[in-house]
Amino acid sequence: MRLLLIEDNDELAGLIEGQLQAGGYGLDRVDCVADAIAVLDSRSYAAMILDLGLPDGDGLKVLRHVRSRQLSLPVLILSARGAMDERVKGLEQGADDYLAKPFAFEELKARLAALLRRPGALLGAQLTVSNLVFDTQGRQASVEERPLPLSARETQLLELLMRRADRIVPKNAVEDQLFGLDDEFGSNAVEVYIHRLRKRLQDGKAAVTINTVRGVGYVLTAAP
């Protein structure tokens, strides 16, 4: 799933990006309050990692913006402000978790996974639709215990569709998850990946179908 990182320290942001991408997450990064609000108003994310000491203001402004729009976006504050009153303030204003700097990357990944497993979130340790199974930790799809070979973006697309099985996933939501802020892609890029994934599933004998809801998006269901 694609995450939004709001962090103005280039070195730390690069390290976080490397760690999370190695764990199978997509990641967009901005470094100030203004850009964070602009991105959140135009794209959707599975979760947000928020620094508080940003060059153009307090990161809590971003948090208040998210909650004022009643977005169900999980928010993990990652800040050098580690005092008890700062942590309480962040949680009271709507953060779901708070991790003080310095931190261990393994703890960051574990806390993110825990956030995304909470009731109402989209993440489960294992997703199953008919005979198709997706292991969110190992990033591996399988059909009746046979591994299904997929590219990185095909894997991201399948995960997104399986998390919302039997529900329409809008095309723009697919674009937000597959492509980052700096990625260039054509108008038919999503259709290309949908076609490729359908072929992979068919070749792997997965008993599922991906239907196109014209002008709206896509829905994955168990085959009749």
Q: Tell me: the pLDDT tens digits for 70-91?
A: 777 899 999 998 899 999 999 9
43: phi > 0 → left, psi -120 to 50 → alpha, else beta; which?
beta
125 pLDDT tier (thresholds 50, 70, 90): low
Residue 103: per-residue pLDDT: 93
Residue 164: per-residue pLDDT: 85
Classified as helix, coil or strand, 213 is strand
23 pLDDT tier (thresholds 50, 70, 90): confident
Q: CB-based burial of residue 219 (10 Å sphere; 0-12 exposed, 13-18 middle, 19+ buried)?
A: middle
More confident position, 119 or 202: 202
- Per-residue pLDDT at 120 exceeds 70: no
Residue 124: per-residue pLDDT: 54
More confident position, 23 or 17: 17
Look over the chain and give the mean of its residue pLDDT values, rounded to a whole number: 90
Residue 191: per-residue pLDDT: 95
Q: Give me the mean pLDDT over the 177-188 stretch.
A: 84
- Per-residue pLDDT at 218 exceeds 60: yes
- Per-residue pLDDT at 148 exceeds 90: yes
* Portion of the chain with pLDDT greater than 70, in percent: 96
- Per-residue pLDDT at 100 exceeds 80: yes
Q: Enter the tokens of residue 56.
A: 């153009």
- Write out pLDDT tens, residues 51-64: 999 999 999 999 99
Residue 211: per-residue pLDDT: 95
Q: Give me the mean pLDDT over the 45-53 stretch.
A: 93
Q: Tell me the whole-structure pTM to 2 decimals.
A: 0.70
Q: Give me the mean pLDDT over the 102-111 stretch.
A: 92
* 14-39: b (≥16 Cβ within 10 Å) or e: eebbeebeeebbbbbbbbbbebbbeb
Among 31, 39, 2, smallest CA distance to 14 is for 31
- Per-residue pLDDT at 118 exceeds 80: no
Residue 219: per-residue pLDDT: 96
